[in-house]
Amino acid sequence: MHFIGLEIVQQHIHCTLLTHPNADKWQKLVENSENGIQQLLQWATQQAQCNSTALHSVIEAHLGLHKLVATRLFKAGCRVSVVHPVFIESFAQRLHLKIDQWNQEDVLTRYGITPFSEISARANVHDYYAIKQLHARKKLLEIDIQREHERLNSLRKTQVTGLALLSTERTVKYLESEFALICEEIMKVLLRGYLLRVAKSRFPN
C-alpha cells in the first residue's frame, strides 16, 4: 500500500506520496477540481508504479473541502481515510512535528503510514498525562481567580481608583481567559479519546 497525504484548500491540493516509511517522498501541487484530481491519480500511480487500488489517501476533514476529493478518489478505487483534525494535531505533537501550511500533507502521510495500534497506544499514554496536567493547572487557576475576585471586590468597596484597580481587573480578565483555554483543551483531549475508542471498536486491528 502506498500512502498519499492531501492538504486541501479552496484552489489547490497539496500532495505528499510515500511508498514506505523510509522512502523518499514525492510532492505535487494540483488544482482543486475534477481535472486536478485526475492529474493527482495519474501522477501517484506513475510514481508508485501501481494502480489506484494500491493507493491509500489520508485527508483531514476541514470545512467540507475534503468531500469532493474523497468521493472521487474512492470511486477511482483508492482507499480513503478522512481524519478528524484533533487526531492530526495530537499525532504531530507527539512526534514533535510543527504543522504549518508547508508540511500538513507530510504529517497526514506519516499518520496514514503509522499502524493504528501504535497511534492508539501512544495517544492513550499521552492523553493520560495531558489530562492530569491540565486538571492540575485548572485547579490552580480556580484558586487564583477566586483570590483576585476577592481582591477586586475589596478595592471596589473601598472605592479605590487608579492603577491598583485597573491592574486587578486586567489580572482577573487574563486568568479567566487562561481558564477558558484550559477547559477547551480538556474537552479536545476527551473528544480525541472518545473518537479513538469509537475507531478502535470499529477497526480493532
- Span 132-165, pLDDT tens digits: 788 889 899 999 999 999 999 988 888 777 888 8
Q: Is the pLDDT of residue 20 over 70?
A: no
DSSP state of 52: G
Report how far apart the first and last C-alpha atoms of the chain are (Å, whole number): 16
pLDDT at 99: 56
Domain extents for the chain? 2-114, 118-202
CATH of 2-114, one of 3.40.50.300, 3.30.420.40, 3.40.50.10490, 3.40.50.2300: 3.30.420.40
Rounded to whole angstroms, what are the CA distances from 53 to 7, 43, 79, 118, 175?
A: 21, 14, 7, 24, 53
Question: What is the rounded distance in angstroms from the CA atom of residue 139 to the CA atom of residue 155?
Answer: 25
Average of per-residue pLDDT values in the chain: 77
Place of cell 505528499: 16
Domain spanning 118-202, CATH architecture = Orthogonal Bundle (1.10)
Higher pLDDT, 69 or 126: 69
Question: What is the rounded distance in angstroms from the CA atom of residue 53 to the CA atom of residue 45?
Answer: 10
Q: Is the pLDDT of residue 200 over 60?
A: no
- Whole-model pTM? 0.51
